[in-house]
Copies of this chain bind each other. A is one copy, B any other.
Amino acid sequence: MTKKERILSVALYRFAHEGYNAVSTASIAKEAEVSEGLIFKHFKSKQGLLDTLREELESKMAAKVQPVMEAATAAEALHLVFDLLLNVDPVDFNYWRLQYQLKLNEAYEGHRSAQLYLDRLSWALQESGFPEPEMEAQLLFEIVDSALKRIVFEELPEKEKYIEFLRKKYAP
Contacts and interface: CB of A to CB of B under 8 A. Distances in A.
18 contacts: A17-B105, A17-B106, A18-B105, A18-B106, A19-B19, A21-B21, A21-B22, A22-B105, A101-B104, A104-B104, A135-B162, A135-B165, A139-B165, A139-B166, A142-B146, A142-B147, A142-B150, A143-B146
A99 to B, nearest CB: 11
A19 B21 contact: yes
Contact of A19 (B105, B132, B146, B147): B105
Interface of A: 17-19, 21-22, 100-101, 104-106, 132, 135, 138-139, 142-143, 145-147, 150, 161-162, 165-166
Oligomeric state, in copies? 2
Given A132-B165, A142-B143, 16 more contacts: A17-B105, A17-B106, A19-B104, A19-B105, A22-B105, A100-B104, A135-B161, A135-B162, A135-B165, A138-B162, A139-B166, A142-B142, A142-B146, A142-B150, A143-B146, A146-B146
Contacts of A138: 162
A101 B166 CA distance: 27
